[in-house]
Structure 1
Amino acid sequence: MEPLVLYSVADRIATITLNRPEKRNALNPNLIAELTNAFIRAEEDDLVKVVVLKANGGTFSAGADLEYLQQLQHNTFEENVADSNHLKRLFTTIYYLPKIVIAQVEGHAIAGGCGLATICDIVFATPESNFGYTEVKIGFVPAIVSCFLVQKVNETVAKEILLTGKTFPAEQALKYNLINFVTNSSEINQTVKEFALSLCTGSSGNSLMITKQLISQTTNPLLEKTLETAVQINARVRESDEFKKGIASFLNKEKINW
């Protein structure tokens, strides 16, 4: 059986690849755990200076897995808190990683998949890529990632993105400051590699680490507290009738009339 996450190193660049293309790289507990472990491996790998996060297949990540969403309806509050903490751990591992993380987004990055891109330090995307936080459309809340998103864009844009649940192309994501570069699909592999190599050869690893820490600690000093609140909100929302209605309608491919 193919691993859900692939890990390789070349030229001091670790490449972490989502490898669930048949499910559009949808997130489930196993994928989240393997992805977290891959980033910890990169952190501990002395041969690694920069990390690139990418995905196999035509979708970066479609968000939560359908079977996973179905299971959430039957979880206890305590199980939902534990589950939310796993996603929080993945996001904070990337956010605080003492190495630069570059996202290479090809195809859709939706909901939790958009969250993965948002957390990364630098984001490249192809013109065909689409982004969006669609949680409100199915009675859910993008609680954990909102703690990072507001800092990355601004409150006005974050509200527009999160409250409408709309999807938008890479060019719009660039205007929102959600991503850094839009690069043609035929060039993105080479462009990302050259960018990563330029960091490896042109910048002090210690300086990169400390600069990243400086930014995270000074721009978001209350992050841990807000994340704790977000985890609790996440778990409470999963117990709501509207969440259960939204998930059931989504799974049955029925139009939801809110």
Structure 2
Amino acid sequence: MILVFGKTGQVACALQRTDGITALDRQAADLTDPAACAAAIRAHRPQAVINAAAFTGVDAAEADEAVAERVNAAAPGAMAETCAAMDIPFIHISTDYVFDGTGETPFAPDAPTGPLGAYGRTKLAGERAVRGAGGRHAILRTAWVFSAHGSNFVKTMLRLGRERDALNVVSDQVGGPTPAADIAAATVSIAGQLAQDPAKTGTYHFSGAPDVSWACFAREIFARAGIACTVTDIVSSQYPTPALRPANSRLDCAETARVFGIPRPDWRAGLAQVLAELEADKA
């Protein structure tokens, strides 16, 4: 059995479609209480743990960094320490926000970090806590997650595109949209491989291909959904937010393919599946 922290998030929802998954909600494991998270692992005695839960409100974290720190750093640290003591694999999902987003070259796993805001700082602290626990683990950084569940760019564009004839979308931020279903499958595969080979412990990247801007992503969403909505490119400064977003969210995923045999997924195929799922849900 694989124990998953998070139950309603995008990756957690996708994981629950896999046999042998036990997912914990906030009532079962309060992420603001690291000791409760550790106790849940000891109580369930799983074969592996996947942390798919996080304080993901990038702007909200600016105003509540203390809570974000407990959820994104202290809790994963407690999980990792417990898994290390039990000698079971721990898979921790992290983010491109640990980088400063400069340049146009995809960030390698060992590239220097430099988060721009509270969310990135707390996620980076979580990574350090996981490594510091000393157990077999994989930190899997990803970006631009989307699915048929929860709140994400695809669902927002579908809603706005049906309401409006035209939209302004940022074009100077580039990254790889990543289907939650592919992240879920990757984490399960990595957990199994880590159980067999602890030497695969480390930090890895996993995002969809090809890299695109938000504006180009929006155009593809509208084209595939048959929505007649014109997209006009704008720069980030024309759409100010409380927290800065990285301009470069490209991730070098070659090491994940080499070590685990998991290639970058084509996000266009994932988008087609999500659109089909949303259409089926309306029926």
Scaled by the length of structure 1, what TM-score is found?
Answer: 0.32
